Amino acid sequence: MSVWIRKALNSCWLILAFILAACASTPQPSVPERSSAQPNSSRPIGYFDSIVSAFAPPTPVVRIAPPTSAAAPETSDGLRATLRFDPAEPGAVHNAEKAAALATLRDFADPLGPYQGAWWFADDGQARIEEALAVILFTEGSTNEAVRKAVAARYVWFCGGAHEACQGVALINFLAYFQPWREPWRAAGRFTDSAAKAYAPLAIEVMRPSSDSVDWARAPFHFANIHPTWDRYLRAKLRREPDGPDRLWVLTQAEAERVCVTALLCSDMTRPRP
């Protein structure tokens, strides 16, 4: 091989080595790690997935233990305070639904009232918030997990972090949403059905989190068996099927922003759409 060819090859190798070294020293763009502050569409909806989804509605008959002679604990502080609730207090917005919810709560907590002998009095003679929540979870959501999640979300929205201390305006606002609570006669025997007692452990878990633990945009929040005119509208607008039979829809807050007055306020979709 001639001298000039060897020199040319050596020059090529030097140039190639220089290029490789330059590439190695040049910082390469990296995929940033997702911080907790960044939106994450794959984030679970807090305890809704871990607690509510893990709950399996019981099928066996629930047997209620007879009352014991031990001293009964007092009614939970929040419920007891709400029994003295004055609808005229600052911050209260009084309407027929909230008046009905308060009336039911007073009957629910009265051991000598219309629900005397109901399952929530059987163990200790007292009514507690988790027992009221168990009745709602049962009457509204015994056959649909998405509805149970919406009930749970509403409790955390109004009462998150308060546990049994939830009271007054917050507790009444929560209870007033549910027709079986406002009008228990419409639920017939389901309102006092002892099967609801099996939902008390779930109710206790629902009462634990604070509202900060929830991805509210994706949280189920509104539900109803809606009118056919609304059903057609939601199918077209949201491009999905209902969440259950009889045109049962469960809307997240993000969906409600698209089809309701606001994320927190929807029209009465059980009536024809205007």
DSSP characters over 153-217: HHHHHHHTTTGGG--HHHHHHHHTT-HHHH-GGGGGGGGT-GGGGGGHHHHHHHTS--GGGS-GG
Helical H runs in 160-199? 168-175, 179-182
What span, in angstroms and rounded, lies between the C-alpha atoms of 263 and 46?
Answer: 19
Residues 250 and 153 reside in one and the same domain:
no
What are the backbone angles phi and psi of residue 176, rounded to the nearest 5°? Answer: -65, -15
Looking at the structure, do residues 171 and 258 belong to the same domain, yes or no?
Answer: no
150-169 pLDDT tens trace: 999 999 999 887 767 788 88
Residue 89 has a pLDDT of 66
Low-confidence ranges of the chain (pLDDT < 50): 3-5, 7-9, 12-45, 59-75
* Dihedral, CA of residue 264, residue 232, residue 152 and residue 142, to nearest 10: 150
Whether residues 274 and 185 share a domain: the answer is no
Tally of domains in the chain = 2
Q: Which of 224, 226, 238, 237 is nearest to 272 (CA)?
A: 226
Q: What is the per-residue pLDDT for 139?
A: 97
Quick check: 230 and 178 in contact, CB under 8 A? no
Same domain, 180 and 231: no
Is the pTM higher than 0.85? The answer reads no
CA-CA-CA-CA torsion sign (53, 55, 60, 62): negative
Distance of CA 248 to the CA centre of its chain: 16
Number of Cβ within a 10 Å radius of residue 153: 27
Residues 226 and 203 in one domain: no
Mean pLDDT across the chain: 78
- Domain of 267 in residue numbering reads as 215-274
Model pLDDT, residue 94: 72
Evaluate whether residue 257 is within a structural domain. yes
> Residue 228: inside a domain, yes or no?
yes
- Residue 14, domain member (yes or no): no
- 190, with CB counted inside 10 A (0-12, 13-18, 19+), is middle
- 89 with 163, same domain: the answer is yes
102 in the same domain as 86? yes
Are both 114 and 141 inside the same structural domain?
Answer: yes
250 falls within a domain? yes
108 and 200 fall within a common domain: yes
